[in-house]
């Protein structure tokens, strides 16, 4: 278990730490740019091979943490570049895709990077008082977890703009919850013993449907300048809201960054919803790592794949060391989004979009097979069908997180 406070051994040089962090940054960059590879599966894959990596466990842990942080910065790049619909469908597309269709993809990349970077700056000082509060409240929360999760689900449904979309959200939640209840505990034979059913479930629910719906899209249109049009105050307020919502993700099981971003919606300006949603989502996604790190230290409960990997390494990882790794990796992730993102959009924009979408879908099938065998491929297909439901019922895809929330609330 990760101790609350420890100090780096005198025998561990700064150069050795930096070397492992650089390796983690490289791995996180590669994984973040691979569409459909979920951060949790990537972290568990690293953990599976960590025992064979030469070096002290705390340094291997630093590399895994750096990879996980950088992944949360870079995964927005393929998310924005792939699955872009035709302009006529932009109103029902993901907020980031709407910006890409409008030629503001370069701005979207910067908004995401700024949201993630600012959220880390907010999360580190917030983590101390939030952890103290959650340590006191956690026994009560744990004892009443089904009620807490039910309240979160009710909030998600009540924040839908219409009755029809709320009903659609309920249908999507129930369908995904049933899918999770039937499949999460499966342990099929697979080439890679890491991550289990999470890979086919998440790639099927959230990856494949976006690509299928956008198959007839025009791809990435020419992009305008990279100027950020949000005011500094609005951007900072929204990033803070995302970071605060990320605290919920860090301490409560089954609650994702997507759910946290919905919790942050009241702070998103109504006249700039797509930009605000992107900032809040990116902030919640990255800040989650900081809060999950403190949750592991204080409560001994790993909430993300990265934390599960850290917890399983043993050794004596240092909280100050790991926070330093978060700071360095966040800086690297911010810079890499700016260096890689624009080029990624240009390259995708010049490719045959239908062939590219088919290639990515094939990759998702392969990922599902690697993590969960033939059973995983079948679950991926069913999850894809369930993932097609929300846009057809005019509701948000976040309700598909019922795949985790439902079984947890029922104690399965």
Task: Give residue 48's pLDDT.
Answer: 64
Q: Please state, in angstroms and rounded to a whole number, the distance separating the CA atoms of residues 410 and 177.
A: 10
DSSP secondary structure letters along 3-20 = -SS----TTS-HHHHHHH
Per-residue confidence in pLDDT tens, the chain, 412 aa: 444 444 444 444 678 788 889 988 998 898 888 876 666 666 666 666 666 666 677 788 888 889 889 998 998 888 888 876 554 444 446 778 888 888 899 999 999 999 999 999 999 888 889 888 888 888 898 889 899 899 989 989 998 989 999 999 999 999 999 999 999 998 888 787 666 788 899 889 988 888 888 787 767 888 888 889 888 888 888 889 888 888 877 787 777 777 777 777 776 666 567 888 888 888 888 888 888 888 888 877 777 767 777 776 665 557 788 888 999 999 999 999 999 999 998 888 888 878 888 888 998 898 889 888 999 999 999 999 999 999 899 998 889 989 989 998 887 6
Task: Give residue 249's pLDDT.
Answer: 75
Scanning 350-392, the segments in alpha helix (DSSP H) are: 353-387, 389-392
- Inter-residue contact 17 to 53 (CB < 8 Å): no
| Cβ-based neighbours of 162, under 8 Å, separated by 6 or more | 394
CA 37 remoteness from chain centre = 10
Residue bearing tokens 């979309």: 165
**Residue 386, both tokens:** 């369930």
DSSP secondary structure letters along 252-293 = STT--HHHHHHHTGGGS-GGGHHHHHHHHHHHHHHHHHHHHH
3-state secondary structure of 118: helix
Among 139, 180, 199, residue whose Cα is nearest residue 406 = 180
Task: Give residue 299's pLDDT.
Answer: 76
Task: Give residue 90's pLDDT.
Answer: 45
Query: How much is the pTM?
Result: 0.84
Q: Please state, in angstroms and rounded to a whole number, the distance separating the CA atoms of residues 220 and 354.
A: 12
């Amino acid at each position: 278990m990760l101790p609350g406070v420890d100090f780096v051994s005198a025998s561990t040089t700064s150069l050795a730490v930096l070397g492992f962090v650089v390796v983690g940054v490289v791995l996180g960059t590669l994984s973040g740019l691979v569409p459909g590879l979920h951060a949790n599966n990537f972290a568990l894959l690293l953990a599976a091979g960590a025992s064979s990596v030469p070096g002290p466990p705390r340094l291997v842990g630093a590399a895994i943490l750096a990879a996980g942080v950088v992944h949360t910065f870079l995964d927005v790049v393929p998310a924005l570049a792939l699955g872009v619909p035709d302009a006529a469908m932009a109103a029902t597309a993901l907020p980031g895709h709407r910006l890409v269709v409008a030629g503001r993809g370069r701005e979207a990349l910067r908004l995401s990077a700024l949201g993630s970077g600012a959220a880390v700056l907010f999360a580190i000082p917030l983590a101390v008082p939030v952890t103290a509060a959650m340590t006191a409240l956690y026994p009560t929360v744990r004892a009443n977890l089904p009620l807490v999760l039910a309240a979160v689900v009710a909030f998600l449904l009540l924040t839908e703009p219409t009755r029809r979309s709320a009903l659609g959200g309920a249908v999507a939640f129930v369908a995904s919850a049933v899918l999770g209840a039937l499949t999460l505990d499966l342990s099929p034979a697979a080439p890679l013993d890491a991550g289990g059913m999470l890979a086919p479930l998440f790639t099927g629910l959230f990856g494949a449907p976006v690509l299928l719906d956008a198959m007839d899209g025009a791809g990435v249109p020419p992009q305008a300048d990279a100027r950020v049009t949000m005011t500094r105050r609005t951007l900072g307020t929204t990033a803070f809201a995302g970071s605060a919502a990320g605290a919920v993700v860090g301490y409560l099981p089954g609650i994702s960054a997507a759910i946290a971003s919905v919790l942050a919606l009241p702070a998103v300006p109504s006249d700039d919803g797509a930009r605000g949603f992107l900032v809040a989502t990116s902030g919640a996604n990255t800040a989650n790592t900081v809060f999950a790190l403190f949750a592991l230290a204080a409560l001994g409960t790993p909430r993300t794949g990265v934390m599960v990997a850290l917890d399983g390494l043993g050794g004596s990882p240092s909280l100050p060391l790991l926070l330093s790794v978060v700071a360095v990796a966040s800086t690297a992730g911010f810079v890499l989004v700016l260096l890689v993102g624009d080029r990624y959009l240009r390259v995708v924009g010049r490719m045959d979009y239908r062939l590219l979408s088919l290639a990515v879908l094939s990759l998702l099938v392969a990922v599902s097979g690697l993590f969960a065998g033939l059973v995983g491929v079948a679950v991926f297909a069913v999850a894809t069908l369930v993932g097609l439901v929300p846009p057809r019922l005019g509701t948000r895809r976040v309700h598909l997180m019922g795949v985790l929330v439902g079984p947890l609330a029922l104690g399965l």
